[in-house]
Amino acid sequence: AQSVSQHNHHVILSEAASLELGCNYSYGGTVNLFWYVQYPGQHLQLLLKYFSGDPLVKGIKGFEAEFIKSKFSFNLRKPSVQWSDTAEYFCAVTRKSGGGADGLTFGKGTHLIIQP
Amino acid sequence: EAGVTQFPSHSVIEKGQTVTLRCDPISGHDNLYWYRRVMGKEIKFLLHFVKESKQDESGMPNNRFLAERTGGTYSTLKVQPAELEDSGVYFCASSQIGTGYYEQYFGPGTRLTVT
């Protein structure tokens, strides 16, 4: 079975700071990788995803993530955060062999607080 | 277009009682998923329906949990009898069916508190 580890449970940054949230996964086969975000009072929504091809993927709101296969990592980055990025961020994986409809395996989430 | 809806938004019940959670997926979405987040833990997959069939129920904790999706539209998740450890937020998600990956759209969740 696959598992996901997110390194930081709480991160506090000032506006305009750079962000990197760590995510490592454990699985013997190939995976699809995702970052989801939950803004206060809102639903979980997809931030970005990686299936294949260019390991650097760009998502909504200026976020990007890089898949490093040798490190089993999929870290989320943003060069300059805004107060509106305050949210909880979740890394998730599915088995590639499961097709496109497997249930997601999530990490524990990272609470990101941006101070004005 | 309406998103995934869940009812109720909150439920407080006593240990031993029964609770039924409902999820209405996005219209036309044949995949429906249930997830649960216990406080301080990760969001965990419970089960996956394709239309009215259970495709994967490997995440269901025990036989006190029963999920149904009659007619392939809305789904219910019944907990009977509820235990303290069942407290948490229950999320539902839906996606289209087909080849490749289809984004899972999440509902707002039902917060269940068992006292």
Q: What is the CATH number of the domain that holds A40?
A: 2.60.40.10
Range(s) of the domain holding residue A110: 3-115
Mean pLDDT score of chain B, rounded to an integer?
93
Q: Do B108 and A49 touch (CB under 8 A)?
A: no
How many distinct structural domains can be found in chain A? 1
CATH number for the region B5-98+105-114 comes to 2.60.40.10
* pLDDT recorded at residue A98: 64
Residue whose C-alpha is closest to residue A89's, from A4, A1, A3, A2: A4
Chain B nearest C-alpha distance from A104 (Å): 6
Please, which residues bridge with residue A103 across strands? none
Q: Which residue has the higher pLDDT, A2 or A34?
A: A34
* pLDDT recorded at residue A116: 87
Q: Do A103 and B48 touch (CB under 8 A)?
A: yes
* pLDDT recorded at residue B81: 97
Given a contact cutoff of 8 angstroms between Cβ atoms, the answer to whether A95 and A36 are in contact is: no
Nearest to A104 among B99, B104, B105 (CB): B104
Nearest to A100 among B45, B91, B102 (CB): B102
Q: Do B42 and A106 touch (CB under 8 A)?
A: yes
Q: Which residue has the higher pLDDT, A95 or B27?
A: B27
* pLDDT recorded at residue B99: 60
Chain A nearest C-alpha distance from B99 (Å): 7
Span of A97-101, A111-115, B18-22 with lowest mean pLDDT: A97-101
pLDDT-above-70 percentage for chain B? 96
Q: Is the peptide bond before B8 cis (omega within 30 degrees of 0)?
A: yes
Both tokens of residue B74? 């809305």
* pLDDT recorded at residue A95: 83
Residue type, A91: C
Residues from B contacting A (CB-CB < 8 Å) are 3-4, 31, 33, 35, 41-48, 50, 55-56, 59, 91, 93, 95, 97-109
Helix (H/G/I), strand (E/B), else coil: B100: coil
